Structure 1
Amino acid sequence: MKTLLLPALVSLACQALAQGVATEAQFTPVIVAGQSIRSGLPATLAGSTVGTSALQLRAQNLVNPEDALAYAPNTTLRKRYIGDRNALIAGRSFGTLQPSRGLVYLDGYLISNFLGRFDAPRWNMISPEALERVDMFFGPYSALFPGNSIGTTVAVTQRVPKRLEVSGRLTAFSQTLAPYGQRDRFGGGQASLHAGTRLDSGMWIVGDFNHQSSTSQPMQYHTVVANAAGVFPTVTGPATRVTGIVYDRDPKGLRRAAFGANAGAIEHAVQDTLNLRAGLDLTPTLVASGMASWWQVDAQARNETWLRDASGQAVWSGLVTDGANRFDIPLASFAPATRQETHQQLGATFKTRHGPGWNQSLVLSDYRILKDAARQASRPDPLASLGGAGTLTRRDGTGWNTAEVQASYTPVPGDWGDGRHALALGLHHNSYRLENRVNSMTAAEDWRGAEGTPSQFFGGRTEVMALYAQDVWDIAEDWKLTLGWRQERFKAFDGRQLGSGVTVNYDSRVLNGRSPKAALSWSPSDALLLKASLGRGVRFPNVEELYNGTVSATSQTLSDPTLKAETSDALELSAEQDWERQRLRLSLYWDDVRHAILRQSTPDAAVCKTTVTGAQTYTCVQNVERVKTQGVELVWSAEDLWVKGLHLSASAAYTFRSEVTANAKDPAMVGKWWLRVPRTRATLQASYRPDARWLYCVGWRHQGRAYADTYNLDIKPGVYGGVSRLNQLDVRGAYKFNRQIELALGINNLTGQQAYQSHPFPGRTAFVELRLER
């Protein structure tokens, strides 16, 4: 009894802040001799898993850490360009408009940002040189994870040195893109350095530094859409005669005019990451480790107008005509922007290692935005280069604290319960804080450096307290039953908005979530594993979804402080078969989500149910009453199957159904396909190492068409603003001159296919990489 009470008392005594922090019971890897194709996650974990080792990652063009997910099964990584700070994850039943359904952990520390839509996982805190392996698992089937696991959970493991090791990498990249006939080239470079050592005392120390300079392709364009009759909005008054207007059709098939890359479309960013880690044995049974990471970026965003007047001069704003149609281009449409950010993450882990029996762990982390200053001009270049009016958006001080305490029991043969139970008990509490302040500068000020006058604000805080327990029970030979329960209490408070000179304070809210879990697995043979996993996940709304209400010269955002939590009831049936050199998994899955939280951007004010018109885009958040998804997933991998040195992996997924089945607030959505969930996804990778010097690799990524419109009216997905099909071929070759030096050449999107997920994906991109190792 004392053994059971001790971890509980420690839990109750811990005054910590947490949300779904990983612990020892979650990410203790299973080592399988000679089987690098297996996941590094515990075999007892309910649901399906997949893993990729550092050696396998060397077989692809990996520049940023999130590239490790490029070939992940049934996964979309919306990485728009190299150095993108908004590389979002989408999975089986959710698209990139629901990023809070993706969990990402770095060495057990949460790096998913649940503060806002445009805050993807903080990939920047990971050094590409330090990657040891990346593991994924799907669905809300484990009580150890919070409700955000209703989608996909990613566990990134960084390398811990066994001896002195030093490595570095220099990479250069360049892409070509020709949307709207505007052919251009964009590129950059990266340098990474990794150094680590293990002392005779057992203490280990690691330092990683990464520097990157990159320029994106255009991300968005200023467009004007005609009505169903093909008539553009009426514009009166004297207009400048111009050339350069390009006409096409938008995703709904409506006639559209495009004028150039706008809204900070082309970004040049310089980013630096410093990551320090260390670990040591405090006692023979108590281990401590810690990390400290800093990331900063200095970004300049410019635009490009295609319009030229009779004298050949660029035209950025005002009334224009090409002789057939007249348009009014607002001053702010082609206004440049800058952004400077500095982020910090601190973490510490304490855990016991008694071997079998009871062990305890405590994981603490703090993520803080030390500086975030986004400056936006109100006029286009060249006027903006002279200063003048603009806005400054600051999020300094925003961040979250995390901590979790857990006790886990590993069976000892002949011990309690005859060694048939593996237990995990835990407690966590979180605190998330968001402050988004907008200051306005007048024409007499300089948007590039002035602080301006406060004009808008939104922010607030959320907390989650959770208790959970899980038991993995060997009910009979070759049979395991997993039972779990997670009880969560969510609180939102200090919500506030300032707009149009009026401040609105929101009342505190409390929501409760109960998440039962159950899984049954059977191993009829050593090579075959059958699983049935059932679980509920409750994903609470984030601060931005509740309280955002910002308005700019071209956009309007509408939040909903009364949002309900989205609840997923999920079921998966899977079969895994191992042979001597290959592995196959087949999974059938069902996902039933009630009160799904959807955040979407649209040029149609009617979609967001607002009477305020005049903006180019409207963004709104709403609960969708019920969404159901069913699909099948196949994952296969092999090593040395036909030829020694040949590694193969493939995946294919087919979604039978992903649609809105009920929505009383907007019945027109019922029966429509869920946004950004494609019917098909597939990947194929092959790498061949004929000897110790040469490596040849090829990869293929496929994604079927998906919908970007709530009512599935986008009949032309393969254009800007749509969600198009993707079929891209990647190649790579590497040569080791000796044990220390390797040179690699690669090309992503070899055929130059143009694809879109609202924004354009990169064109054909070439890589040159020099790797040095000691």
Structure 2
Amino acid sequence: MLTHSLQTIVGRSLLLTPLALAGPALAQTVLQPESPTQLEEMLVTARKSATAALPINVAADSVERSQIEAMNVINAEDALRYVSNVQIRKRYIGDANGAPASRGTSAPQAARSQVLMDGIPISNLLGSGFLYAPKWGLLAPDEIESIDVMYGPFSALYSGNTLGTGIFVTTHMPEKFEMSLGALDAYQNFRGYETDLSLNNRRYDASIGSRAGNVSWAIYANHLEAEGNPANFLTVPVSTGTLVTGTTPVDAIAASGAIREIDAGGIDRYLFGTSSTFDDTTDVVKGKVKWDIDEDTRLFATLAYQEASSQLLNHQSYLRDANGNQIIRGRVQIGDRVFNLNNLSILQLNVTASRNLLAGATLQKRFDNRWLIEASASGFDVLDGDVRTATMANAPNGQVNETDDQGWRNGALRAIYTPDAVHWLGKTLVLGTDYGRYWNQNSAYQSPNWRAGMRGTLAERNRGETRQTALFGENTWGLGSAVDVTLGLRYEDWQARDGLRTLGALSIDYPERSEQKWSPKATLTWRTTPELTVQTRAARAYRFPTVTELFQSRTTGGYLVQSDPNLKPEDATTFDVSLTRRFDLAGGRAKASVAVFSEDVKDAIFNQYNVFQQATFNTSIGRVLTRGLELNLATFGMFAQRVDLDANLVYQQSEIRDNPNNPATVGNDFPRIPNWRGKLLATWRPLELLSASIGLAYEGKQYNLIDNSDDRSGGYGYMSEYFLVDLKASYQLTGNIEASLGIDNVTDELVYYYHPYPRRTYSASLRWRMR
């Protein structure tokens, strides 16, 4: 429910526009400002962040707590569902591989999105594929206070990993004693091809917190049991089968169940079953402390522990012999060809488990009401983890892939100066440095008993590390009362070291590398009237290669993607121009905006087939140009505070302009960037205790393949054009208990984002809260 305080703030600030009058740092300071000007700027941003460095003056969209409560938020990333031009690739409830996509960035390019939770990075910048999605599971849905989204690397305070998006999450800290208990159950009937499954998911969470004097604290616990729909269907190219002769060995003959079709790449294939449902369990315990040491000093600390496991043990085969028995292994005859199912990697069973620890702290100190110094440090460690995989179905031998050492460290020091009068240094000056170190070592062993985790001969070992140190400065000047100019400059020193790849008796040590880059930024904000603002932004940025892109080859989508230790950094030049209008609408306050943007990226890192080397690599595409138009409308408090609306529509075109490794792709659409995206979230409160909402989401046509050959009817491996409808209703049963019912994908669409998305999903939740 939208609180009166938020309505008041929104009425003054017009929905957290990206045009906050202050510089990016001061507008976010959590220390109480002394001057009326600073207080007004804090009201504009309406944040109680743990960090003073959120670049709100270049934010493009935001999500408030009232909007989150209007959605079916089962996992934290669901809160971004209706954000303009952002899509989270989520295959099932609790999917750990939920990579963000935005503007000219596709979901496989996860390292172009940087997610911070109270200033602590939770983006997994060890890699840039789906396996390296942000650690959304470290966020409890009930603790999210707000989310701000920045499109493009327009702030000097952050690295080129914000080339796609910077996602800044602010969590709740209690001002008095509070406690919460929640339970949620979700159900879907998943149907695709010959698969028909009833799937259940459960989430239980609890929190407690309080404030005593100058210390506030909170503890969150979350338990999720997810039964996820299958991600893959079992396929085999017809051409790989052996033509049957009188001497061809055959273990079984398929009398039925093989579906013959053309796949997204134009290959004639048999589809004969589905991979296992996901049996996932995730437990998170998290504690936060905020200590106001004195009126000018504050310490904020977070500690989170996570245990996660996933099992894929129940592959389903459609193949049946003449007696109706299921065929899942061996040499099977389908039509006039024989296929050895034992050789298909997609049939391998596997079990994954990990224990993770996140810790971070931010210390702030204010001097003379003009200087604010902030120091922060954080780290993420995989305490232990492994992936155990069978060589073939129902066989004891397999492989154990162990995480030997994996994690990251981040640190930053920022100094924010705000003159108390007109000064040649302008309105706000930010100076600082930051540091990031990411490392990974894992070893794969042959195993005589993969379920027990027994280790045999070393099959492969990968190791590597990247480090990035930056110096930055950003200054905002006021050119009169109506115009602000912000100029920023970022210097980055990047290093890759300790690269090693061992394959059996072959061992390769990669030489150390280093790169140094300068990234300028500029923003012009012109408030032509109190209601109308124009903003122009420009930035240069570099996204450096990750550890796994450089040093670790991997199998994805059934084919080997080879690493490249010589990858160049992505080189991006980005512009956008926006026009924002505030006005009254139906008794409420509204904001409408239009933005035109351009992203020109040289040496864009993407896995693609090299036509000259006849293999798939993490490699560079010479140039990708994305241009588009975004329309946004947001309103709060219409019709006597009963109706809120957030709607957006995007048209964009992402085109490959140069690609030396595969010249035939020049002129093609870049994969997984749709021409159209549109979303709407409408909330209606007919009674004080009752609220209802409807959410709409549309994604237009897009390709999965870089050669754009997947322009056919659809199915497994394709990218669906889709229109989804979600519903939710919440009722306050008593002063402390709220019940909610939700339906996602009301029309039960079967959507393929290469993998199938969930079908119609029902959810019911009950929450008891004391505040």
Equivalent in the alignment of 2:477: 473
Equivalent in the alignment of 2:431: 425
| Mapped contact 1:395–1:437 kept (Cα < 8 A) | yes
Against the structure 1 CA distance between its residues 23 and 205, is the aligned structure 2 distance closer, same or farther, given a 3 Å change threshold?
Answer: farther
Equivalent in the alignment of 1:631: 628
| Mapped contact 2:97–2:133 kept (Cα < 8 A) | yes
Match of 2:445 among 439, 445, 449: 439
Equivalent in the alignment of 2:724: 728
Answering whether residue 564 of structure 2 is matched by residue 560 of structure 1, we say yes
Match of 1:169 among 182, 199, 214: 182
**Could you tell me how far apart the structure 2 residues matched to 1:355 and 1:90 are?**
43
| Mapped contact 1:470–1:483 kept (Cα < 8 A) | yes
For 1:546, what is the secondary structure of its paired residue? helix
| Mapped contact 2:226–2:279 kept (Cα < 8 A) | yes
After TM superposition, give the deviation of residue 235 of structure 1 in Å: 6.1
After TM superposition, give the deviation of residue 333 of structure 1 in Å: 3.9
**Could you tell me how far apart the structure 2 residues matched to 1:42 and 1:489 are?**
21
Against the structure 1 CA distance between its residues 308 and 169, is the aligned structure 2 distance closer, same or farther, given a 3 Å change threshold?
Answer: same
Equivalent in the alignment of 2:145: 132
Answering whether residue 505 of structure 2 is matched by residue 505 of structure 1, we say no
**Could you tell me how far apart the structure 2 residues matched to 1:26 and 1:49 are?**
16
Equivalent in the alignment of 2:296: 285
Answering whether residue 744 of structure 2 is matched by residue 741 of structure 1, we say no
* Residue identity opposite 2:215 in structure 1: M
Equivalent in the alignment of 2:13: none
Equivalent in the alignment of 1:268: 279
Against the structure 1 CA distance between its residues 435 and 27, is the aligned structure 2 distance closer, same or farther, given a 3 Å change threshold?
Answer: farther
After TM superposition, give the deviation of residue 256 of structure 1 in Å: 2.3
- Could you give the per-residue CA deviations for residues 465-490 of structure 1, whole angstroms, max 9, x where no partner exists? 11000001112221111111000011
- Could you give the per-residue CA deviations for residues 287-327 of structure 1, whole angstroms, max 9, x where no partner exists? 11111001111221122212222232221122222445443
Where do 1:132-531 residues align within 5 Å?
132-199=145-212, 201-226=213-238, 234=243, 237-239=248-250, 240-242=252-254, 243-262=256-275, 265-302=276-313, 303-331=315-343, 332-354=345-367, 356-380=369-393, 383-384=394-395, 388-414=396-422, 416-417=423-424, 420-442=426-448, 445-531=449-535
After TM superposition, give the deviation of residue 38 of structure 1 in Å: 11
Against the structure 1 CA distance between its residues 232 and 315, is the aligned structure 2 distance closer, same or farther, given a 3 Å change threshold?
Answer: closer
Match of 1:701 among 666, 675, 697: 697
**Could you tell me how far apart the structure 2 residues matched to 1:351 and 1:552 are?**
44
Equivalent in the alignment of 1:14: none
| Mapped contact 2:304–2:357 kept (Cα < 8 A) | yes
**Could you tell me how far apart the structure 1 residues matched to 2:293 and 2:47 are?**
32
After TM superposition, give the deviation of residue 379 of structure 1 in Å: 2.1
Against the structure 1 CA distance between its residues 643 and 282, is the aligned structure 2 distance closer, same or farther, given a 3 Å change threshold?
Answer: closer
**Could you tell me how far apart the structure 1 residues matched to 2:27 and 2:750 are?**
40
Against the structure 1 CA distance between its residues 84 and 717, is the aligned structure 2 distance closer, same or farther, given a 3 Å change threshold?
Answer: farther
| Mapped contact 1:131–1:156 kept (Cα < 8 A) | yes
* Residue identity opposite 1:631 in structure 2: G
**Could you tell me how far apart the structure 2 residues matched to 1:391 and 1:691 are?**
58
Where do 1:592-607 residues align within 5 Å?
592-599=600-607, 607=610
Against the structure 1 CA distance between its residues 179 and 42, is the aligned structure 2 distance closer, same or farther, given a 3 Å change threshold?
Answer: same
After TM superposition, give the deviation of residue 27 of structure 1 in Å: 4.4
After TM superposition, give the deviation of residue 188 of structure 1 in Å: 1.3
Against the structure 1 CA distance between its residues 328 and 43, is the aligned structure 2 distance closer, same or farther, given a 3 Å change threshold?
Answer: closer
Answering whether residue 60 of structure 2 is matched by residue 49 of structure 1, we say yes
Answering whether residue 702 of structure 2 is matched by residue 669 of structure 1, we say no
| Mapped contact 1:23–1:404 kept (Cα < 8 A) | no
**Could you tell me how far apart the structure 1 residues matched to 2:734 and 2:44 are?**
27
**Could you tell me how far apart the structure 2 residues matched to 1:32 and 1:405 are?**
23
Against the structure 1 CA distance between its residues 223 and 25, is the aligned structure 2 distance closer, same or farther, given a 3 Å change threshold?
Answer: farther
**Could you tell me how far apart the structure 2 residues matched to 1:81 and 1:495 are?**
34
**Could you tell me how far apart the structure 2 residues matched to 1:460 and 1:769 are?**
44
Match of 2:81 among 70, 84, 87: 70
For 1:244, what is the secondary structure of its paired residue? coil
For 1:395, what is the secondary structure of its paired residue? strand
Against the structure 1 CA distance between its residues 25 and 717, is the aligned structure 2 distance closer, same or farther, given a 3 Å change threshold?
Answer: farther
Answering whether residue 581 of structure 2 is matched by residue 584 of structure 1, we say no
| TM-score normalised to structure 2 length | 0.90
Q: Tell me how large the CA RMSD over aligned residues is.
A: 2.4
- Could you give the per-residue CA deviations for residues 639-698 of structure 1, whole angstroms, max 9, x where no partner exists? 23345311111000001x211111223211211111110000000111111222111111
For 1:472, what is the secondary structure of its paired residue? strand
For 2:687, what is the secondary structure of its paired residue? coil
| Mapped contact 2:195–2:274 kept (Cα < 8 A) | no
Equivalent in the alignment of 1:616: none
After TM superposition, give the deviation of residue 119 of structure 1 in Å: 1.4
**Could you tell me how far apart the structure 2 residues matched to 1:535 and 1:455 are?**
45
Equivalent in the alignment of 1:6: none
* Residue identity opposite 2:755 in structure 1: H
Equivalent in the alignment of 1:718: 714
**Could you tell me how far apart the structure 2 residues matched to 1:552 and 1:408 are?**
44
- Could you give the per-residue CA deviations for residues 366-412 of structure 1, whole angstroms, max 9, x where no partner exists? 110111111001121xx24xxx2111111242001111001011231
For 2:686, what is the secondary structure of its paired residue? coil
After TM superposition, give the deviation of residue 133 of structure 1 in Å: 0.8
- Could you give the per-residue CA deviations for residues 232-287 of structure 1, whole angstroms, max 9, x where no partner exists? 6646623321121122331244432111123xx42101110111000112233111
Structure 2 residue runs of 5 or longer lacking an equivalent are 1-22, 31-38
Higher deviation after alignment, 563-572 or 299-308:
299-308
| Mapped contact 2:184–2:203 kept (Cα < 8 A) | yes
- Could you give the per-residue CA deviations for residues 563-597 of structure 1, whole angstroms, max 9, x where no partner exists? 00001100000011111311111100011000000
* Residue identity opposite 2:463 in structure 1: G
After TM superposition, give the deviation of residue 92 of structure 1 in Å: 0.4
**Could you tell me how far apart the structure 1 residues matched to 2:365 and 2:556 are?**
52
- Could you give the per-residue CA deviations for residues 165-187 of structure 1, whole angstroms, max 9, x where no partner exists? 11121000011221113211212
For 2:581, what is the secondary structure of its paired residue? strand
Equivalent in the alignment of 2:674: 678
For 2:108, what is the secondary structure of its paired residue? coil
| Structure number with higher relative contact order (C-alpha < 8 Å, ≥ 6 residues apart) | 1
Structure 1 residue runs of 5 or longer lacking an equivalent are 1-21, 601-605, 613-618
Answering whether residue 97 of structure 2 is matched by residue 91 of structure 1, we say no
Against the structure 1 CA distance between its residues 31 and 737, is the aligned structure 2 distance closer, same or farther, given a 3 Å change threshold?
Answer: farther
Equivalent in the alignment of 1:107: 118
- Could you give the per-residue CA deviations for residues 104-160 of structure 1, whole angstroms, max 9, x where no partner exists? 000000000111221100111111111111111111111111011111110111101
- Size of the aligned set, in residue pairs, is 726
Higher deviation after alignment, 584-593 or 449-458:
449-458
**Could you tell me how far apart the structure 2 residues matched to 1:545 and 1:80 are?**
24
**Could you tell me how far apart the structure 1 residues matched to 2:499 and 2:534 are?**
47
| TM-score normalised to structure 1 length | 0.90
| Mapped contact 1:197–1:205 kept (Cα < 8 A) | yes
| Mapped contact 2:610–2:662 kept (Cα < 8 A) | no
| Mapped contact 2:612–2:661 kept (Cα < 8 A) | no
